[in-house]
């Protein structure tokens, strides 16, 4: 990344999310005297940076919010900008409502719920004419519909110099929700009409510096062709023949969410209890004593180790049959001893525990005629459920609505007509993502629906229909524009 910057001692450098200062070190190894301006929000990191780069080291440290701080606004507006910018910005940071409202005003027309694109946008505006920035970000930037306004801005007003795409697992020990990352170099100048750049697809760290550019591992892209692609998508694999075809590369559920199978006790009759004798297919199970139920397991300290108090039964989402909200019908013994047993027992499956008690969407493994996705909230989910957990780009509420919609159902059945919906199939299902505004509306209406369902209001059916209908409407619109990947298009034709 540092070498891609082409920095000189006479340049000025901004590191907008300086962290431990590794990127600053890397640039200074190449250009020791470059003056550096570093921003870092976190007081502890800022403190460490001040120790690492004391007065006189040529690194000025500002403990501030890069996105909203007024001093960077002044630079942006009065032309006191940077020649070079290098960053590994934060990904997927949570923005509260007040901040989001402010960001929407500031970055109107752009998707503001993802921090890495906000950093990119802010930094593009802070680049001086002919300046250059190098960022490492998730490769979702290259194709997600939500980021199309930012891609368009870059294509129209800046110049792509290079993009390197690689698996995040190339960095040993780093594990997070993104399958792939990219290093992207952009210059602040208008691209000439014939400008082209290379996208490289790298499989090993050693290839970063020495990979010969071949047709197998790289692709030459004409910047102006990106404008012709639907949503201004950029190819993310070497086998996408031409750019217009790459534009049909659709988003799948696996791009936007983790899809995992849930827990199994090994001996359900012994460890599970039902809420009442009205629960379907629950013959032979004991009825739970509500005095023994902990209704908010996610607030219990070290809950993955089990619960010590006598309230040690917790709600577990199991099976389908309900849309959006399923009442707590099943409870599982989550005492310390039982959890220790699940962790070691051969028949039990204590699988994917990092997802337990997280908010997500539960989709039943076996469904025959219609989708029934329910919110997972303050509960475990068992192996009859595929747990779907948004990575960064979408809200849980939007996903919940989407997974109950006809477009999701027909796409899922298009790739897997059987009644069995394993996590593998759910991951591969094409997803039609609307623009940020429609997504925000669906999120808001779904929040209302969740409230209404949890508080027993009778108006829920109308609201549910309205939400599901709005999804079909925007998908049909996308299909009419014929801007869909073939499987998705076939699926949409059935709506």
Ligand X SMILES: C[S@@+](CC[C@H](N)C(=O)[O-])C[C@H]1O[C@@H](n2cnc3c(N)ncnc32)[C@H](O)[C@@H]1O
Binding site for ligand X (CB under 6 A): 17-23, 39-42, 45, 65-67, 88, 90, 93
Report, in Å, the least distance between residue 54 CB and ligand X: 18
For the CB of residue 41, give the shortest distance to ligand X in the complex, in Å.
4
Upper half-sphere CA count for residue 161 (Cβ side, 13 Å): 18
Complex with ligand X: residue 126 or 253, whichever CB lies closer: 126
Nearer to ligand X, 181 or 492 (CB): 181
Instruction: CB nearer to ligand X: give 61 or 150.
Output: 61
**For ligand X, which is the closer residue by CB, 115 or 411?**
115
Distance CA 468, CA 29 (A): 56
Quote the CA–CA distance of 89 and 16 in Å, as a whole number.
Answer: 8
CA 359/CA 323 separation, integer angstroms: 16
Contact (CB, 8 A) for 367 and 417: no
Question: CB-wise, 41 or 221, nearer to ligand X?
Answer: 41
CA–CA distance, 311 with 433 (Å, rounded to integer): 42
Question: 90 vs 295, which CB is nearer to ligand X?
Answer: 90
Q: Residue 8: how many CB atoms within 10 A of its CB?
A: 12
Class of residue 231 by CB neighbours under 10 A (exposed 0-12, middle 13-18, buried 19+)? buried
Alpha-carbon distances, residue 466 vs 326, 373, 409, 425, 478 (angstroms): 20, 17, 17, 28, 19
d(CA 57, CA 11): 16
In the bound state with ligand X, the residue whose beta carbon lies nearer, of 47 and 245, is: 47
Q: Is residue 127 within a helix (H) or strand (E), and if so which, with residue range?
A: strand 127-138
| For ligand X, the closer CB: 23 or 314 | 23
Closest contact distance (angstroms) between CB of 44 and ligand X is 9
Smallest separation, CB 399 to ligand X (Å): 25
Closest distance to ligand X from the beta carbon of 25 (Å): 8
Q: How far is CA 161 from the centre of its chain?
A: 26
Considering the complex, what minimum distance in angstroms separates the CB of residue 163 from ligand X?
19
Q: Which residue is nearest to ligand X (CB)?
A: 19
Cα–Cα dist 96/336, whole Å: 35
Given a contact cutoff of 8 angstroms between Cβ atoms, the answer to whether 24 and 36 are in contact is yes
Shortest separation between residue 1's beta carbon and ligand X, angstroms: 9
How is residue 442 written in tokens? 């669906």
- Distance (Å) of CA 435 to CA 147, 231, 449: 9, 10, 21
Least distance CB 117 / ligand X (angstroms): 13
- Min separation Cβ 116 and ligand X, Å: 9
**Tokens read off for 188:** 């602040």
Q: Which is nearer to ligand X, 23 or 307 (CB)?
A: 23
Nearest of 253, 305, 293 to residue 379 by alpha carbon: 293
């Amino acid at each position: 990344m540092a070498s891609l910057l082409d920095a000189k001692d006479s340049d000025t450098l901004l590191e907008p999310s300086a962290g431990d200062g590794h990127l600053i070190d890397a640039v200074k190894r190449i250009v020791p005297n470059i003056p550096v301006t570093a921003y870092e929000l976190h007081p502890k990191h800022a403190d460490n940076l001040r120790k690492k780069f004391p007065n006189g080291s040529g690194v000025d440290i500002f403990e501030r919010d890069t996105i909203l701080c007024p001093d960077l606004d002044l630079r942006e507006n009065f032309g006191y900008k940077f020649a070079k910018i290098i960053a590994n910005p934060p990904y997927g940071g949570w923005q509260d409502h007040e901040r989001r409202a402010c960001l929407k005003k500031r970055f109107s027309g752009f998707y503001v719920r993802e921090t890495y694109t906000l950093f990119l946008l802010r930094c593009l505006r802070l680049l001086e004419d002919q300046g250059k920035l190098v960022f490492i970000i998730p490769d979702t930037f290259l194709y997600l519909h939500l980021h199309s306004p930012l891609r368009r801005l870059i294509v129209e007003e800046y110049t792509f110099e290079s993009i390197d795409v690689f698996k995040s697992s190339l960095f040993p020990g780093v594990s997070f929700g993104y399958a792939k990352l990219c290093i992207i170099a952009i210059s602040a100048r208008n691209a000439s009409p014939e400008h082209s750049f290379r996208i490289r697809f790298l499989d090993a760290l050693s290839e970063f510096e020495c990979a010969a550019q071949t047709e197998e591992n790289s692709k030459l892209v004409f910047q102006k062709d990106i404008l012709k692609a639907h949503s201004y998508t950029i190819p993310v694999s070497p086998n996408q023949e031409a750019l217009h075809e790459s534009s049909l590369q659709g988003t799948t559920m696996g791009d936007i969410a983790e899809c995992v199978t849930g827990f199994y006790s090994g001996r359900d009759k012994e460890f599970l209890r039902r809420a009442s004798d009205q629960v379907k297919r629950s013959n032979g199970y004991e009825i739970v004593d509500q005095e023994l139920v902990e209704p908010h397991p996610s607030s219990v300290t070290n809950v993955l180790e089990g619960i010590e108090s006598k309230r040690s039964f917790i709600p577990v989402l199991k099976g389908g049959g309900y849309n959006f909200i399923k009442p707590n019908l099943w409870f599982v013994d989550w005492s310390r001893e039982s959890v220790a047993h699940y962790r070691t027992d051969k028949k039990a499956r204590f699988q994917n525990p990092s997802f337990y008690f997280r908010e997500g969407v539960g989709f039943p493994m076996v469904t025959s005629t219609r989708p029934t996705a329910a919110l997972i909230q303050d509960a475990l989910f068992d192996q009859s459920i595929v747990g779907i957990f948004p990575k960064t780009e979408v809200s849980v509420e939007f996903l919940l609505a989407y997974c109950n919609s006809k477009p999701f159902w027909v796409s899922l059945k298009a790739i897997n007509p059987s009644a069995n919906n394993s996590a593998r199939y759910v991951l591969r299902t094409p997803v039609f993502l609307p623009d940020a505004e429609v997504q925000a509306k669906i999120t808001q209406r779904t929040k209302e629906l969740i409230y209404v369902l949890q508080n027993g209001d009778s108006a829920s059916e109308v609201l549910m229909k309205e939400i599901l209908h709005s999804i079909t409407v925007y998908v049909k619109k996308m299909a009419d524009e014929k801007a869909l990947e073939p499987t998705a298009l076939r699926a949409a034709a059935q709506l």
